Structure 1
Amino acid sequence: MKPNQKIKIIVTGTRGIPDILGGVETHCEELYPRLVQEGYDITVIRRSCYITDNIRIDNYKGIHLKDIFAPRKKSLEAIIHTFLAILYAKKVNADILHIHAIGPSLLTPFARILGLKVVITHHGPDYDRQKWGNLAKWILRNGEKMGAIYANEVIVISNVINHILQEKYKRNNAHLIFNGVTSPRKSVTTEYIAQLGLAPQKYILAMGRFVEEKGFDLLINAFSRLNQTEYKLVIAGDADHPSAYSENLKLLARENNIVLTGFIKGKKLNEILSNAALFVLPSFHEGLPISLLEAMSYDLDILVSNIPANLLPELKQDDYFQTGSVHDLAKKLQKKIENITFNRKHDLTSYNWDNIAKQVSGVYQQILKTK
């Protein structure tokens, strides 16, 4: 049901949209145009340090875009930007402030003190990520706690996260609303993959940021053990903050003849997904990975780590390998290569973005009814 009037929603916690690397960013890019169609007045607050000339715009598919300062420093950018975004939300008399991710959620009590109604979306326990030091992990754990305790409404994107909030904070009324995926129109072109030296259905694809918890070094080491001549390994993505790990990963890739595409979106990503044979996600940590849902939407065969977030009911036992094990990943890769299921159909009805938008709208309507 559409709201009777334009309800003003301010969104923070994301780097921004469109075409900015990250799972939360993809989530927002899909969700908020649909909520505009539901009749909401949506403003996404973007971090200034990620805004390049090609996306220096103030509107995207009906969403207002507001760029606010953020330092390009991973330990400071989220918290400083969120503080400024909350002040902006108060200034414009937002009906609802929607905060994404647990780091920015640390400031939930501040927003509530200012009189704002707050929804948070918990995208995953980021304190499990290897890239964070002890202080950052402490902040993230407290961000999760502040969001769970003080937000008016909480959205979680997986059962795993829901159980965390129930066990740790007795938050038993969170709304389970999955990440989504759009049914794609597959590319019929091969020019881009040809430029990369690839042939259709003759490469294995992984996608994501070049950070330790994605496990891409593990994947390269496992793949190199196979002495594979028929299939190539392609990793699409890059680091949002260059680090020793990301630079070493690129060096490891070059040494093992792995194809790196850099950060790609749009037609290039469509073409590379449309022509892949197998998708691999070796992560140590996820919330509910959009990249996995995207690969499934392209009818790809799947091999993923057996972390709880990847245990989707739509997948089978032989789609998994033991998290962190180079030996098991190499063994399962070899088995998949010998038995790839091309054009494999996956049931993705639980991950429909139109339904997800209606569920989020329901959360907004619930919070507005609460005094």
Structure 2
Amino acid sequence: MNNKKKRVLFIGSFKTKGKEGNVGGQMFACNSLINSDLKNKVDWILVDTTATTNLKRSVFNKLSKSILRLIKVFYYLIFCRVDVILAFCSSGNSFLEKGYVLKISKFLGKRTIIAPRSGHLIDGIITNQGFKKKVLSIFESCDTIICQGSFWKSFFLNELGQPENKLKIVHNWIDAKNYNKTNKIKTPINILFLGWVDKNKGVWDIFNAVNILKRSDYKLNIAGNGEEFQKLSKAILENSVQDRIEMLDWVYGNHKINLLNDADIFILPSYREGLPNSLLEAMASKCAVIASNVGAIPDIINHNINGKLINPGDVNGLVNAIEDYLDNHELIKKHSESALQTIQKKNSISIVEIKFSSILKL
């Protein structure tokens, strides 16, 4: 082992896919980072925290897995050389578990870096004062707080009073060269949703929009799974809209790439987000995108320039945005070209390597 390399204890999600077959944004981010050219400068020490499912788990299941992870972390801290602790985290108890590890690591004299990646974290801070105090305590022990965009940086700066020099913006990233598509528009127009099938992702807004859009010039695919999957599948049959909307379950690998490449329009009417990888993948695949004006999404979507922004819960706004594209195929081409250019400029893995090299002080 090269002792000149910086040794980074990385707490995150390192499975190649989840139990349901999905590849989440955090999973992709962690794996792409450790497999990037940073591996020539870093010895990664990995602690995997991938959840077995996004559905509810028993307290015993969560607690037992948490204890095993903590034992592993403290073994590394005590018996191995560790220069930096990097933690990718979501919200709730997951955030607190990793946050307290960072507090202890800081006490032991380690550099600590936290990368919050869930829009639910902001909700928790706003609605729960007790949780907010815990977040503040954790942030005080962090040398660097990675922000997914300017919205996150502004929130941590103004709502939590964090010093600006601790806040570093690193937009989510993908390897854009894995996506390749011509701008040939299909007939009917292919519309795609890709992600967890739950209320937060706006899947019922999609269903209601399809009920309004009684047109034959489009077909919508929902690729994913989650707590609303069965209810939504039943509603599609009961309302006789299966000719316009199809449920596909999780897709990954070449199947996902092909589905993105076949799509003309990508929709993500979420109620809260960080900066979703599925949106970046759709932009890299030259889709015209429609997404909610939440989280860091406005950092990459410039309304009516490289996509369309709608307010969360605005079904009529979603319908109007879809119709704008259905009625104007040249607009699809224009926005999709601009979307790809945005990804190449702001969200490539090479840009992220440079930013993490600086953050990790390599």
Fold in common (TM above 0.5)? yes
Q: 1:350 aligns with which of 346, 351, 356?
A: 346
Contact 2:170 2:352 in 1 (8 A): yes
Matches of 2:281 and 2:59, distance apart in 1: 29
Is 1:184 the counterpart of 2:214? The answer is: no
Is structure 2 residue 235 aligned with structure 1 residue 252?
yes
Deviation at 1:82, TM superposition (A): 5.3
State the alpha-carbon separation in 2 of the partners of residues 362 and 95 from structure 1.
Answer: 15
Deviations 1:222-241 (A, max 9, x none): 122112322111112223xx
C-alpha offsets along residues 88-143 of structure 1, whole Å, 9 cap, x if unaligned? Answer: 431433221111125144312133234432111122442356xx8x99x6676455
Alignment partner, residue 175 of structure 1: 168
Q: Deviations over 1:184-242 (max 9, x none)?
A: 34468xxxxxxxxxx77632001112232211111111122112322111112223xxx
Within 5 A, what are the aligned runs for 1:290-329?
Answer: 290-312=277-299, 315-317=302-304, 319-329=308-318
- Pick closer, same or farther for the CA change 1:312–1:332 going to 2, 3 Å: same
TM-superposed CA distance for 1:39, in Å, is 2.0
Following the alignment from structure 1 to structure 2, what is the Cα–Cα distance between the partners of residues 179 and 127? 17
SS in 1 for 2:232: helix
Which residue of the partner structure matches residue 359 of structure 2? 363
What is the TM-score when the length of structure 2 is the normalising length? 0.79
Partner of 1:37: 39
Partner of 1:93: 81
Tell me, yes or no, if the aligned pair for 2:274 and 2:295 is still in contact at 8 Å. Answer: no
Give TM-score, length-normalised by structure 1: 0.77
Please state if 1:155 is matched with 2:154. no
1:159-238 superposed matches below 5 A: 159-167=150-158, 168-173=160-165, 174-186=167-179, 202-238=189-225
Would you say the 8 A contact 2:149–2:299 is kept in 1? no
Question: Match of 1:37, as an amino acid?
Answer: K
Aligned length: 328
- Which residue is 1:262 aligned to? 249
1: distance between equivalents of 2:347 and 2:168?
Answer: 15
Q: CA-to-partner distance for each residue in 1:129-186, whole Å, 9 max, x for gaps?
A: 6xx8x99x66764553234211122211111111111111333111111111221344
State the partner residue of 1:8. Answer: 7
Q: How far apart, in 2, do the equivalents of 1:296 and 1:362 lie?
A: 27
Taking the aligned partners of 1:35 and 1:186, their CA distance within structure 2 comes to: 20
- Cα RMSD, aligned residues only: 3.3
Q: How does 1:26-105 map to 2 (within 5 A)?
A: 26-47=28-49, 50=52, 76=63, 80=67, 83-90=70-77, 91-101=79-89, 102=91, 103=95, 104-105=97-98
CA shift, 1:270, in A, is: 0.5
- Does structure 2 retain, via aligned residues, the 8 Å contact 1:149–1:171? no
Do the aligned partners of residues 100 and 49 (structure 1) sit closer, same or farther apart at CA in structure 2, a change above 3 Å counting? closer
Partner of 2:99: 106
Query: CA separation in 2, counterparts of 1:270 and 1:22?
Result: 15
Does the Cα contact within 8 Å between 1:47 and 1:81 map onto a contact in 2? no
C-alpha deviations, 1:56-105, integer Å up to 9, x for none? xxxxxxxxxxxxxx978896588546534532431433221111125144
Aligned-partner Cα distance in 2 for 1:203–1:289: 21
Structure 2: distance between partners of 1:300 and 1:233: 14
Q: Secondary structure at the match of 2:114?
A: strand
What letter corresponds to residue 161 of structure 2 in structure 1?
A: Y
SS of the residue corresponding to residue 235 of structure 1 reads strand
Asked if 1 retains the 8 angstrom alpha-carbon contact of 2:118 and 2:274, the reply is yes
Judge conservation of contact 1:125–1:161 (CA < 8 Å) in 2: no
SS at the partner of 2:299? coil
Are residues 109 and 37 of structure 1, via their aligned partners in 2, closer, same or farther at CA, if it must alter by over 3 Å? closer
- Provide, for residues 28-78 of structure 1, a one-character-per-residue CA deviation record: whole Å limited to 9, x for no partner: 122221154332111332247649xxxxxxxxxxxxxxxxxx978896588
d(CA) in 2 for partners of 1:233 and 1:92? 51
2:326 matched residue in structure 1: 337
Going from structure 1 to structure 2, the CA distance change for 1:201 and 1:162 (only over 3 Å counts) comes to: farther
User: Runs of 5+ in structure 2 lacking a partner?
Assistant: none
State the identity as a percent.
18
CA contact (8 A) 1:106 1:140 kept: no
Q: 1:139 to 1:81 in 2, by over 3 A?
A: farther
